[in-house]
A = this chain, B = another copy of it.
């Protein structure tokens, strides 16, 4: 190689990528099989039929030939780990055999899109029992069922409680020859995804490690590129984000889902602004979801410390209390209470915090839920099991789960405190809550925006483990922004 160019560059991560073992997807399938077989036995149903899923298809943008970046459908990714579009997958419930169906590619694919892989390639890559073409589905599945006239397919159909959308059951030419079951699979498979295996945890940990590092780089780099908050998206590559980055500064940080088309992360940084960066990488489908808040000029003002520490105390108290059996609604209320207490101590609120809790005043400052399951989806499914009802009260109704914690769950802890006119104005006018607000202090925080601190937390047998490792204390953030290494024991790469 020629000698390196003299130009500076961001330092490459020294993290080593964990191997992506197909074992992970094999064990996901085994987990589903045990669970499904148990369910069928309990219902005195025969252990036969196929779990049958359709993978995602590539989409073009409107009428053009612009192909959107493909991401596999999450349930399909969970069971098969397939990265290519156009696949189907089946699992024989009796034998446990797994079958993939690959699209038959036209000959000129080899010219435009690369080598056409033989079926054996996919069998080897994805460690399944058999691979056929998608135009052979009906034939293959029927051959496996010599004994019965109509084979049974368990298709995926059910509600995503975050989007209110239903998953689309598989469709293929010849499906009318099969009996189909649309109700059994979805709740069972969703429940499998709620509890993470060690193999899954390793990937979520890695996604957290890269993302934590990228957040630290942004805190260092924010000085150097003071030309718009868009620049901080830089550490996150297109292909590897688990969701659209939220990069808000100043007043924008109180827009909870900032970063969409009408608010595209384009405000210019201003001295004195707080920044709120909500960004997470994904690795082999498994994601991270991390928020850091910090002053763009590297030094907290006392007002900024007040709000920041209110949120940090809530974040830390929740993590200290988390363990199996704890109810997530109680954790949400714990966070609210700590934030309200801090605001009262800081003179922003007045009166009795228990009274504030009764009037749901916490939801004025934190209208969103405390956190959500995290996995292959940023908002991983399963937050509401069958029969669980969504609360009606402000704040609580935004919870994406109300379940008791169980060992193996991964859930985000993301308390926040925001000054949102659309909530503050009515609350200060409402006769039940008006008395709690110190108007002068509230006026001081107009345009402040908000603070959120979000970590990804794994529930263990006896407590929990925080998978995220960003600077969190005020002094830590100020030190890192002044050039100190992170983690503190790391030798600086710049010195």
Contacts and interface: CB of A to CB of B under 8 A. Distances in A.
A223 interface: yes
A482 interface: yes
A98 to B, nearest CB: 20
A262 B162 contact: no
A113 B62 contact: no
A255 interface: yes
Given A12-B227, A168-B63, A423-B111, A483 B70 contact: no
Q: For chain A, what secondary structure do more than half of its interface residues adopt (helix, strand, loop), or is it mixed?
A: loop
A173 B117 CA distance: 48
B83 A261 contact: yes
A84 B223 CA distance: 31
A130 interface: no
B233 A83 contact: no
Interface stretch (A237-245, A451-459, A468-476): A237-245
Given A4-B224, A70-B260, A160 B65 contact: yes
Interface string A77-115: 000000111000000000000000000000110111110
Interface stretch (A44-52, A53-61, A324-332, A384-392): A53-61
Contacts of A111: 256, 367, 420, 422-423
Contact of A64 (B74, B261, B368): B74
A377 interface: yes
A225 B68 CA distance: 27
A252 B377 CA distance: 31
Nearest to A60: B163
B238 A299 contact: no
B233 A234 contact: no
B2 A223 contact: yes
A21 to B, nearest CB: 17
Contact of A61 (B9, B71, B85): B71
A413 interface: no
A1 B62 contact: no
Given A63-B168, A168-B62, A238 B243 contact: no
Contact of A1 (B73, B225, B271): B271
A271 B265 CA distance: 38
Contacts of A83: 261-262, 264
A238 B227 contact: no
Nearest to A9: B224
Contact of A63 (B112, B165, B256, B260): B165
A64 B264 contact: no
Contact of A114 (B69, B71, B263, B297): B263
Given A112-B256, A230-B237, A68 B68 contact: yes
Contacts of A23: none
A66 B167 CA distance: 13
Given A5-B482, A221-B7, A483-B6, A66 B113 contact: no
B377 A66 contact: yes
Most buried by B among A1, A71, A225: A1
Nearest to A478: B2
B262 A239 contact: no
6 contacts: A1-B271, A7-B220, A62-B167, A65-B165, A230-B237, A236-B238
Interface of A: 1-12, 56, 58-74, 83-85, 107-108, 110-114, 160, 162-163, 165-168, 220-221, 223-227, 230-231, 233-234, 236-239, 241, 243-245, 252, 255-258, 260-265, 271, 297-299, 367-368, 377-379, 381, 420-423, 481-483, 494-495
**Closest 8 A/B residue pairs (Cβ):** A8-B8, A110-B422, A65-B163, A70-B261, A2-B298, A63-B167, A9-B224, A114-B255
